[in-house]
Amino acid sequence: MLIVNGKNIDTAQIVGGTRLIGGAHRECIEIAVLNKTYEEIKALFVDGVHMILREPQAQYNPQTGAPLLDDAGQPVTKLVDYDKAEYCVAGDIIDKRDGTFAVYMGTKTDAEKEREQKEQVMLELLAERGAIV
C-alpha cells in the first residue's frame, strides 16, 4: 500500500528507473494505481507530495531464524513503513486502459537540491540580519 499525504492508495506494483520528468532525467518510481480516477490521481500526485510505502514484513524466530507462524499456521507479519519523500517531483500520469494508471514521481536533481540549500542559507542570513521577520 502507498500512503500519499496521509491517504491510502491501492497499488498493483511500484518499480524504479530513470525517466525524463520536468525537463530533466531523474531517478523515478512508476506507480500502478488502482481504483482511482484520473482527476483523483492528478490532485494527489503533485510536486512536493509526501509518500510512504507500507509493506508487510515476515517475522522470524530470533533463536532459530525460522519464520514465526500464528495458530492457523500462517506467517506472522508486521507492517513496515518506507519513506519515499525523495520522490516529490510529479511526472506523467498514463491511462493503461485496464483500470489502472501509471504515475511517475521523480527525485530532485543535484542542481535543484543545491539551489534549495543556497536559498535556505540566504533566508537564514536575511533573517539573522533582520531583513525579514
Per-residue pLDDT tens for 95-125? 999 999 999 999 999 999 999 999 999 998 8
Domain ranges in the chain?
2-108
Strands laid side by side in the 24-34 sheet: 11-21, 24-34, 100-106, 89-95
CA 124 to chain centre: 29
User: Is the pTM for the entire model greater than 0.85?
Assistant: no
CA 53 to chain centre: 7
Confidence class of residue 128 from pLDDT cuts 50, 70 and 90? confident
